[in-house]
Amino acid sequence: MTEDSSTHEIVTAAIVIIGDEILSGRTKDKNIGFIADYLTALGIDLKEVRIVPDEEPEIVAAINAVRARYTYVFTSGGIGPTHDDITADSVAKAFGVGIDHDPRAVKILEDHYAPRGIELNEARLRMARIPFGADLIENAVSKAPGFRIGNVHVMAGVPSVLQSMMDAVAPTLKTGTKMLSETIPAGLPEGIIAAPLGAIQKAYPATIIGSYPYHDGTRYGTNLVVRARSAEMLTEAANAVRDMVAGLTPAT
Amino acid sequence: MTEDSSTHEIVTAAIVIIGDEILSGRTKDKNIGFIADYLTALGIDLKEVRIVPDEEPEIVAAINAVRARYTYVFTSGGIGPTHDDITADSVAKAFGVGIDHDPRAVKILEDHYAPRGIELNEARLRMARIPFGADLIENAVSKAPGFRIGNVHVMAGVPSVLQSMMDAVAPTLKTGTKMLSETIPAGLPEGIIAAPLGAIQKAYPATIIGSYPYHDGTRYGTNLVVRARSAEMLTEAANAVRDMVAGLTPAT
């Protein structure tokens, strides 16, 4: 909200994680943090994440809600060969397009399985179901591809595969002016810092200043993070925060 | 979708995580997995998670979207004393109610800070801002309370504090018939298992059968998870999956 948007290009994104196993707690998600770091490094602002179950109406609704709002959407999960892998069909439905075995994807699977003497059975062929009009996303790990349709990138849930797919996708993404950040650790409780920090935020509206409290087992502290797209703005605001923390620290 | 809902009570929930630091990747979320495990143990089905930035319109929209759909909503983050802590005000707005310093919350803070000689300054008093009509949620760790309004439970983002608040909230929750589960490890790729597994899912519609592939560094395998609210159904379907895996394993 306080971005200096007149001079910097803003590129936004959302993530949709698809999978009952995340919602049940059985699997602890590792993809949100990975994609978040990746996008931040590229200068793309992750604005929203949704985790939805393996149910077509939920997947369709989530994808349609976010693809209309953000520059890019990244999904994770549900593109394997089993009956609960319904992401590709759901994405086709969200876009109102057909879906069938894609000759390019079939060839990738044939080239992968044939030399190993593994049958390309009906279940494995399911992984070649790609919505009409989509481009494939290379999977350097286990070959079965992801795909991109419109601004939506559909990737696997297995972290190593998702990570290889992000590497394949990254060069195709438009990137914005990178959000720079500086962290100022403060061994002080938020209650002491809050008022002067709020004043600094007001004085530097082109920055976003956050306070992230922690408890180290014996006492509270907080990490103050200043973010800005302009290096000059960042330095000015971070210096103000640093001076404020230094001024308060001896007295405590 | 395949739940045996005629005889089992279904209680649902959503989580809303509030915080730029999660979206930037700076902080890796630990609360989703914790709450997911907690709810599963209580017999409450977590159906959706949203992560939104520290922006009032986004928080209001997310809370209003999920509170209308699910039995319970749990939020995490944004209830501290700093300028970027805007969850309480956003929740008041979502419910269309006023907000002010709550005498019960002020007393908790006074009782906490006064004996320590710590000033209850304006910033700390911000933590006593509670929407009209809300009940407080006890914070056994650092005292500043969360609150419940309607079906929405507003909790801290610091994991230790959130965990203590979940303990305070749990006894007040209506719980459903617990979803039971059994995991059958299969050292076989999904491509072999998919067809017979799909047939078992069809044969046991009152169960939910998921396949969660992994790669252990050298080969692919998958964990097959059968879930059901009826112990008998669970046993029958899990036995069918176990027999199927055993039948396929020697041949590989």
- If one counts the domains in chain A, the total is 2
Give the pLDDT score at A106: 97
Regarding whether B203 and B165 lie in a shared domain, the answer is no
Regarding whether B104 and B23 lie in a shared domain, the answer is yes
Helix then strand then coil, in percent of chain B rounded to 5, is: 40, 25, 35
Q: What are the tokens at A64?
A: 């349609």
Regarding whether B154 and B53 lie in a shared domain, the answer is yes
A51 touches B: beta carbon within 8 Å: yes
Give the pLDDT score at A250: 58
Q: For residues A128 and A105, is the Cβ–Cβ distance under 8 A?
A: yes
Pairwise CB contact (< 8 Å): B82 & A122: no
Tell me the average pLDDT across A152-168: 96
Q: Where are the alpha helices (DSSP H) in chain A?
A: 20-23, 31-42, 56-67, 87-95, 103-113, 122-126, 159-169, 190-203, 231-248
**Minimum-distance CB partner of B121 among A48, A158, A195:** A195
In chain B the beta strands, taken as DSSP E runs, fall at 12-18, 45-52, 72-76, 99-101, 129-131, 135-137, 146-149, 152-155, 180-186, 208-215, 220-228
Contacts of A137 (CB under 8 A, 6+ apart): A145, A146, A147, A148, A153, A154, A155, A165, A168, A169
Q: Assess if residue B5 is contained within a domain.
A: no
Look at strands A12-18 and A45-52 and give their pairing.
Answer: parallel
Position A2 confidence tier, pLDDT thresholds 50, 70, 90: very low
B160 touches A: beta carbon within 8 Å: yes
| Residue A99 to residue A181: CA distance in whole angstroms | 43
> With pLDDT > 70 as the criterion, what percentage of chain B qualifies?
96
**What's B241's domain CATH number?**
3.30.70.600
Its domain, for residue B208, covers 180-248
User: Would the pLDDT of B5 be above 70?
Assistant: no
Q: Assess if residue B163 is contained within a domain.
A: yes
Regarding whether B127 and B46 lie in a shared domain, the answer is yes
Position B203 confidence tier, pLDDT thresholds 50, 70, 90: very high
Distances (CA, A) of A56 to A88, A91, A157, B183: 10, 9, 17, 24
B29 touches A: beta carbon within 8 Å: yes
Q: Assess if residue B4 is contained within a domain.
A: no
pTM, entire model: 0.91
Regarding whether B191 and B139 lie in a shared domain, the answer is no
Q: CB neighbours (10 Å) of residue B57?
A: 12
Q: Assess if residue A128 is contained within a domain.
A: yes
Q: Assess if residue A3 is contained within a domain.
A: no
Give the pLDDT score at A86: 97
Residue (of A199, A186, A175) closest to A40 by Cα position = A175
Residue (of B23, B37, B97) closest to B63 by Cα position = B97
B125 touches A: beta carbon within 8 Å: no
Give the pLDDT score at B178: 87
Give the pLDDT score at A6: 52
Q: Assess if residue A54 is contained within a domain.
A: yes
B7 touches A: beta carbon within 8 Å: no
Distances (CA, A) of B38 to A84, B2, B46: 24, 23, 10
| Residue A224 to residue A187: CA distance in whole angstroms | 10
Pairwise CB contact (< 8 Å): A25 & B46: yes
Regarding whether A191 and A131 lie in a shared domain, the answer is no
Q: How many Å separate Cα A113 from the centre of its chain?
A: 31
CA distance A196 to chain B (A): 10
Residue type (1 letter), A88? A
User: Would the pLDDT of B216 be above 50?
Assistant: yes
| CB burial of residue A207 (10 Å; 0-12, 13-18, 19+) | buried
Give the pLDDT score at B250: 58
Q: Which residues of chain B lie closer than 8 angstroms to A215, CB-CB? A: 141-142, 158, 160-161
Q: Which residues of chain B lie closer than 8 angstroms to A24, CB-CB? A: 36, 40, 46, 179, 181, 227
Instruction: Write out residues 30-49 of B within 8 Å (CB-CB) of A.
Output: 32-33, 36-40, 45-49
DSSP letter, residue A151 = T
Chain A's closest residue to B84, CA to CA, is A210
CA distance B59 to chain A (A): 11
User: Would the pLDDT of B2 be above 50?
Assistant: no
User: Would the pLDDT of A165 be above 80?
Assistant: yes
| Residue A244 to residue A249: CA distance in whole angstroms | 9
Position A7 confidence tier, pLDDT thresholds 50, 70, 90: low
Regarding whether B164 and B184 lie in a shared domain, the answer is no
Cα within 13 Å of Cα(B98), Cβ side:
3
| Residue B66 to residue A103: CA distance in whole angstroms | 40
Four-CA torsion A192, A196, A197, A203, nearest 10 degrees: 180
> With pLDDT > 70 as the criterion, what percentage of chain A qualifies?
96
Tell me the pLDDT tens digit for each residue of A117-155. Answer: 999 999 999 999 999 999 999 999 989 999 999 999 999
Task: Tell the residue number behind the tokens 């793309």, with chain if given.
Answer: A44
Tell me the average pLDDT across A44-57: 97
| Residue B2 to residue B112: CA distance in whole angstroms | 50
CA distance A96 to chain B (A): 23
Q: For residues A60 and A18, is the Cβ–Cβ distance under 8 A?
A: no
Regarding whether A155 and A43 lie in a shared domain, the answer is yes
Q: Assess if residue A4 is contained within a domain.
A: no
Beta bridge partners of A127: none
Q: What are the tokens at A112?
A: 């992968």
Chain A's closest residue to B193, CA to CA, is A82
Pairwise CB contact (< 8 Å): B24 & A1: no
Give the pLDDT score at B202: 96
Tell me the average pLDDT across B201-211: 95
CA distance B204 to chain A (A): 13
Regarding whether B102 and B29 lie in a shared domain, the answer is yes
CA distance A204 to chain B (A): 13
Instruction: Write out residues 54-113 of B within 8 Å (CB-CB) of A.
Output: 54-55, 58, 80-84
Of B148, B172, B196, which residue constitutes the final position of a domain? B172
Q: Assess if residue B1 is contained within a domain.
A: no
DSSP letter, residue A159 = H
Chain B's closest residue to A209, CA to CA, is B84
Q: How far separated are the first and last CA of chain A, in Å rounded?
A: 34
How big is the CA angle at A74 (ends A69 and A75), to the nearest 5 degrees?
115
Regarding whether A134 and A39 lie in a shared domain, the answer is yes
Of B122, B155, B172, which residue constitutes the final position of a domain? B172
Tell me the pLDDT tens digit for each residue of B7-21. Answer: 688 999 999 999 999
**Minimum-distance CB partner of A82 among B58, B122, B190:** B190
Chain B's closest residue to A125, CA to CA, is B191
| Residue B134 to residue B72: CA distance in whole angstroms | 15
**Minimum-distance CB partner of B82 among A21, A126, A211:** A211
DSSP letter, residue B212 = E
**ipTM higher than the 0.85 cut:** yes
Tell me the pLDDT tens digit for each residue of A76-88. Answer: 999 999 999 999 9
Residue (of B45, B88, B59) closest to B178 by Cα position = B45
Regarding whether B42 and B145 lie in a shared domain, the answer is yes
Residue type (1 letter), B108? I
Instruction: Write out residues 176-235 of A within 8 Å (CB-CB) of B.
Output: 179, 181, 183, 190-195, 197-198, 201, 208-215, 220, 222, 225, 227
Regarding whether B243 and B167 lie in a shared domain, the answer is no
| Residue B241 to residue B207: CA distance in whole angstroms | 12
Tell me the pLDDT tens digit for each residue of A178-200. Answer: 889 999 999 998 999 999 999 99
Q: Where are the alpha helices (DSSP H) in A114-225?
A: 122-126, 159-169, 190-203
Of A172, A191, A210, which residue constitutes the final position of a domain? A172
